[in-house]
């Protein structure tokens, strides 16, 4: 498949507008993808700074730096910003940049809505972050905002938090509709569903998940809004409501949400590992079915977050077995990635390093997830640092390493320059060591009984907490190196060929680097 030459040089094929209006009014998928990526990295640094406050306070026992009230605001805001501000927009940015190029489309199907769905996000996070400066402070009830902590006892700023969540949800749903419309309608001739790249498949399924669960989140925060301001008692037992109802509705959103944050990473890694193994992906069809199975099962496991609330024993058994079942399609994917690497001609550039670390560390997170799935054992682990260790092993090496792997993999295509490989490998090793130092000791802290979301702790937890904090500072500081690498790459460097990785396959490698402002005006033929 050769690069497509533009034979329709009409007036709409001029380059980008000049100045600020280019970014405010753009409908170009590459510009919007770039804005999502820049926004998500800014949020990543902000959320990371909050994590540094948390780890600085926990560096040694006793209250050092912040008051417990502010500590709770930091844990809440860190979680909310990382989930909704860093991870999700980063994957939407990758989708905006890559999906049209991967399927041979000229742009996203709904370009104006694309612009609108991006610009809602800075507004939402401006509202969310402004709660830090309001009377009574920011949300302080944990990123899961359980009622009645968030309704009866939450700060006055909770209503602003609810408004921000609604705006984020609208942005997500519009983005998801756009992804589905693009993939189903704008594929190049000859690209059947089972010929689509895996990143496209994972995003298609993720988009359906978003449309299914974002209204559930909107529903639960609307019920909170009513309880706070309009005298209803959905979650207030004294008025006939039920606080456990909140958890059921929240986790019915929250568990598929975890997969929304990981499935696009599965897709990206399924491109990177074959490229650097110089082999086709092992078991393409089984990968597609595994992603579908994970997405479907994610709807029937929500109450495994709630084993300790008094779920009937039949319910506990159902959610326990359903949760273990989800390990099967996940195992299929891990097996296929390993089989792809087996006897391949491997090289370890930065994207491959992050991808291999993703597979290994995500698997560790999966194993601790299986431990948490066992209901009687979960009574011991629940609300301890073991849970913090588990979900950070899923989200940091899972989502964040997946994003770094993708960024290094596609950076030459975006900028037209090769990034500095030595610096990128340094970024990888410092991140890898820092991340494991930060989160591995938390398993032991949790098993020894240290509760999560506390600013002070008993003396016997001091050593592991110090190691954890050192690892966290190391991981956090390293991300500034990533910023340097990207800025350096954008500004210049060795020119990138159309296909910088010899094992890479797909339409996006048929266009020149940097990718032209308008990619395919005549769709390519897929043989």
**Angstrom distance (rounded) from CA 216 to CA 304:** 18
What does 107-157 look like in DSSP terms, one character per residue? S-S-HHHHHHHHHHHHHHHHHHHHGGGSTT-S--STTTT-TTTTTTSS-TT
**Angstrom distance (rounded) from CA 438 to CA 51:** 11
Task: Report how far apart the first and last C-alpha atoms of the chain are (Å, whole number).
Answer: 8
**Angstrom distance (rounded) from CA 83 to CA 145:** 14
CA angle 360, 479, 99 (to 5 degrees): 70
CA 117, 123, 126, 131 dihedral sign is negative
pLDDT of residue 10: 37
pLDDT of residue 88: 97
Q: How deeply is 376 buried, as exposed, middle or buried, from its count of CB atoms within 10 A (0-12, 13-18, 19+)?
A: exposed
Number of H helices, E strands in the chain: 18, 0
Contact criterion met (CB below 8 Å) for 403 and 431: no
Segment holding 195, helix H or strand E = none
What does 484-523 look like in DSSP terms, one character per residue? HHHHHHHH--SBPPS--STT--SGGGGS-SSPPSS--SSP
Q: What amino acid positions are annotated as catalytic residues?
A: 78, 107, 143, 171-172, 255, 257, 259, 270, 304-305, 330, 333, 452
Nearest Cα to Cα of residue 239 among 221, 223, 216, 222: 223
pLDDT of residue 19: 84
Contact criterion met (CB below 8 Å) for 484 and 41: no
SS3 per residue for 19-68: CHHHHHHCCCHHHHHHHHHHHHHHHHHHHHHHHHHHHHHCCCCCCCCCCH
Segment holding 459, helix H or strand E = none
pLDDT of residue 526: 86
Q: What Rg value do the Cα atoms of the chain yield, rounded?
A: 23
Write b or e for each residue in 93-104: b if 16 or more Cβ atoms lie within 10 A of its Cβ, otherwise e: bbbbbbbbbbbb
Q: What does residue 417 show for φ and ψ, rounded to 5 degrees?
A: -125, 150
* Tens digits of pLDDT across the chain (527 residues): 444 444 343 334 567 888 898 999 999 999 999 999 999 999 999 999 999 999 999 999 999 999 999 999 999 999 999 999 999 999 999 999 999 999 999 999 999 999 999 999 999 999 999 999 999 999 999 999 999 999 999 999 999 999 999 999 999 999 999 999 999 999 999 999 999 999 999 999 999 999 999 999 999 999 999 999 999 999 999 999 999 999 999 999 999 999 999 999 999 999 999 999 999 999 999 999 999 999 999 999 999 999 999 999 999 999 999 999 999 999 999 999 999 999 999 999 999 999 999 999 999 999 999 999 999 999 999 999 999 999 999 999 999 999 999 999 999 999 999 999 999 999 999 999 999 999 999 999 999 999 999 999 999 999 999 999 999 999 999 999 999 999 999 998 899 999 999 999 999 999 999 999 999 888 898 88
Q: What does residue 59 show for φ and ψ, rounded to 5 degrees?
A: -60, -40
Model pTM score: 0.95
**Could you tell me the CA-to-CA distances from 438 to 18, 362, 435, 512 in Å, in that order?**
44, 15, 5, 41
CA torsion 286-264-523-108 (nearest 10°) is: 140
């Amino acid at each position: 498949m050769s690069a497509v030459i533009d034979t329709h040089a009409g007036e709409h094929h001029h380059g980008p507008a000049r100045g600020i209006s280019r970014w405010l009014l753009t409908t170009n998928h590459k510009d919007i993808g770039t804005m999502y990526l820049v926004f998500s990295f800014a949020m990543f640094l902000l959320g990371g700074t909050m994590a540094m406050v948390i780890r600085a306070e926990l560096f040694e026992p006793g209250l050092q730096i912040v008051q417990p009230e502010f500590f709770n605001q930091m844990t809440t805001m860190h979680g909310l910003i990382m989930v909704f501000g860093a991870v999700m927009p980063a994957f939407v940015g990758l989708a905006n940049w890559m999906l049209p190029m991967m399927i041979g489309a000229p742009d996203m199907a709904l370009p104006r809505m694309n612009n609108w769905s991006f610009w809602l996000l800075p507004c939402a996070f401006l509202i969310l972050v402004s709660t830090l400066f309001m009377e009574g402070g920011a949300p302080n009830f944990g990123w899961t905002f359980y009622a009645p902590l968030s309704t009866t006892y939450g700060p006055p700023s909770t209503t602003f938090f609810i408004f921000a969540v609604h705006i984020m949800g609208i942005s997500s749903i519009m983005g998801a509709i756009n992804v589905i419309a693009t993939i189903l309608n704008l594929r190049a001739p000859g690209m059947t569903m089972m010929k689509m790249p895996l990143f496209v498949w994972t995003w298609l399924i993720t988009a359906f998940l978003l449309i299914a669960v974002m209204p559930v989140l909107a529903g639960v925060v609307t019920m909170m809004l009513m309880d706070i301001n309009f005298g209803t008692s959905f979650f207030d037992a004294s008025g006939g409501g039920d606080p456990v109802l909140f958890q059921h509705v929240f986790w019915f959103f929250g568990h598929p949400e975890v997969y929304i944050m990981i499935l696009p990473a599965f897709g990206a890694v399924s491109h990177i590992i074959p490229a650097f193994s110089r082999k086709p992906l092992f078991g393409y069809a089984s990968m597609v079915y595994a992603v579908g199975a994970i997405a479907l099962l994610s709807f029937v496991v929500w109450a495994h977050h709630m084993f300790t609330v008094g779920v009937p024993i039949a319910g506990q058994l159902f959610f326990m077995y359903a949760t273990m079942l989800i390990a099967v399609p996940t195992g299929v994917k891990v097996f296929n990635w390993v089989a792809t690497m087996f006897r391949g001609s491997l090289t370890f550039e930065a994207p491959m390093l992050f991808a291999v670390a993703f597979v290994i560390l995500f698997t560790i997170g999966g194993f601790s997830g299986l431990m948490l799935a066992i209901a009687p054992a979960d009574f011991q682990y629940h609300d301890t640092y073991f849970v913090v260790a588990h979900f950070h092993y899923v989200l940091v090496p899972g989502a964040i390493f997946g994003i770094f792997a993708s960024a290094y993999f596609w950076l030459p295509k975006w900028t037209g320059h090769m990034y500095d490989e030595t610096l990128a490998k340094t970024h990888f090793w410092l991140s890898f060591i820092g991340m494991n130092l930060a989160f591995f000791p938390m398993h032991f802290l949790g098993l020894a009984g240290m509760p999560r979301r506390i600013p002070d702790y008993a003396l016997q937890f001091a050593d592991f907490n110090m190691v954890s904090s050192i690892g966290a500072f190391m991981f956090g500081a390293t991300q500034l190196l990533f910023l340097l690498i990207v800025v350096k790459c954008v500004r210049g460097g060795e020119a990138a060929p159309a296909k910088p990785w010899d094992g890479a396959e797909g339409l996006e490698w048929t266009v020149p680097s940097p990718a032209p402002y308008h990619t395919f005006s005549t769709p390519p033929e897929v043989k």
